[in-house]
Amino acid sequence: MIRPQEEIHRMSDAPKNCILFFVKDPIKGGVKSRLAAELDDTIAVELYKNFILDMLATLTACAAQCLICVYPEGALEKVKKWLGPKYHYLPQEGKDLGERMKNGFIEAFSMKFEHAILIGSDIPDLPLSIVKEAFRMFETHDAVVGPAHDGGYYLIGFRNDTFLPEVFDKMKWGGETVLRSTLNRIKKRGCRVHLLPAWNDVDTLADVMALLQRNTAAVGACPKTISYIKTASIEAKSAG
């Protein structure tokens, strides 16, 4: 999964830090299935679009090159047209999530980045401070992981000289043991791993309400998502 040489050269002057921002084509039936079941497909898609926009505002404020990694790979041009040409894009390539994540890191390190973190796109209020902490911890650690409350993780990262591709092989994704299994694999290789603060993915209506509650008084926190929640009267739907 190596880009053409001119693509790598184009990225050669980028910062030493890379963010692999994993996004899906925001189409009905393709994103946030549990939210769609509780609300409807249109609201789920619009919520997800706002997640992406809010997260991009946060991630691009970090001293790192943000690469938007699009799934499925055939939707890359469509997503690029939506978000615009100011960003860098890559297709997610691989037969499952683990292979796509592994290939994303391989791609980043082939571009000569020293550190890379991979972040999902359903954590719209993720603070910039956590992203900065992840990169800062590479000074003393080999890997960083951001635990999610459901037993998975919302962020994972490596230095180019400590990357462990096998961390992503034959993993049972979506289960409650993903975080534990991942940490065990990293530690078995003798690597020093830093755990970031736990954070919540937004997968259900209850998650949306929790997001609204913790960010209503927070000036500037995921403003597009909060505005859409209020505009679409999702709070009323929850109460009803």
Residue ranges making up the domain that contains 143: 5-201
Residue 117 lies in a domain: yes
Q: For residue 124, how far is the Cα from the chain centroid?
A: 10
- Would you state the pLDDT for residue 175? 80
Note whether 167 and 182 are within 8 A (CB): yes
Residue 173 lies in a domain: yes
Full-model pTM: 0.93
- Would you state the pLDDT for residue 153? 96
Residue 227 lies in a domain: no
- Would you state the pLDDT for residue 220? 73
Query: Please, is 124 exposed, middle or buried when counting C-beta atoms within 10 Å of its C-beta (0-12, 13-18, 19+)?
Result: buried
Where do we find the tokens 């000036």?
219
Question: Residue 144 CB: number of other CB atoms within 10 A?
Answer: 25
CATH code where residue 178 lies? 3.90.550.10
- Would you state the pLDDT for residue 240? 57
Where do we find the tokens 């694999």?
185
Residue 65 lies in a domain: yes
- Would you state the pLDDT for residue 218? 67
Overall number of domains in the chain: 1
Residue 98 lies in a domain: yes
Rg over CA atoms, the chain: 17
Residue 119 lies in a domain: yes
- Would you state the pLDDT for residue 9? 42
Residue 224 lies in a domain: no
Strand arrangement, sheet containing 17-24: 88-91, 65-71, 17-24, 115-119, 153-159, 143-147, 193-195
The pLDDT profile of the chain, 240 residues, written as one tens digit per residue, is: 445 433 544 354 558 999 999 999 999 999 999 999 999 999 999 999 999 999 999 999 999 999 999 999 999 999 999 999 999 999 999 999 999 999 999 999 999 999 999 999 999 999 999 999 999 999 999 999 999 988 999 999 999 999 999 999 999 998 889 999 999 999 999 999 999 999 989 999 999 999 999 887 766 789 999 999 999 988 776 665
Q: How far apart are CA 39 and CA 234, in angstroms?
A: 8
H or E stretch covering 211: helix 205-215
Note whether 12 and 24 are within 8 A (CB): no
Residue 148 lies in a domain: yes
- Would you state the pLDDT for residue 216? 78
Q: How far apart are CA 68 and CA 90, in angstroms?
A: 6
What 3-state class would DSSP assign to 71? strand
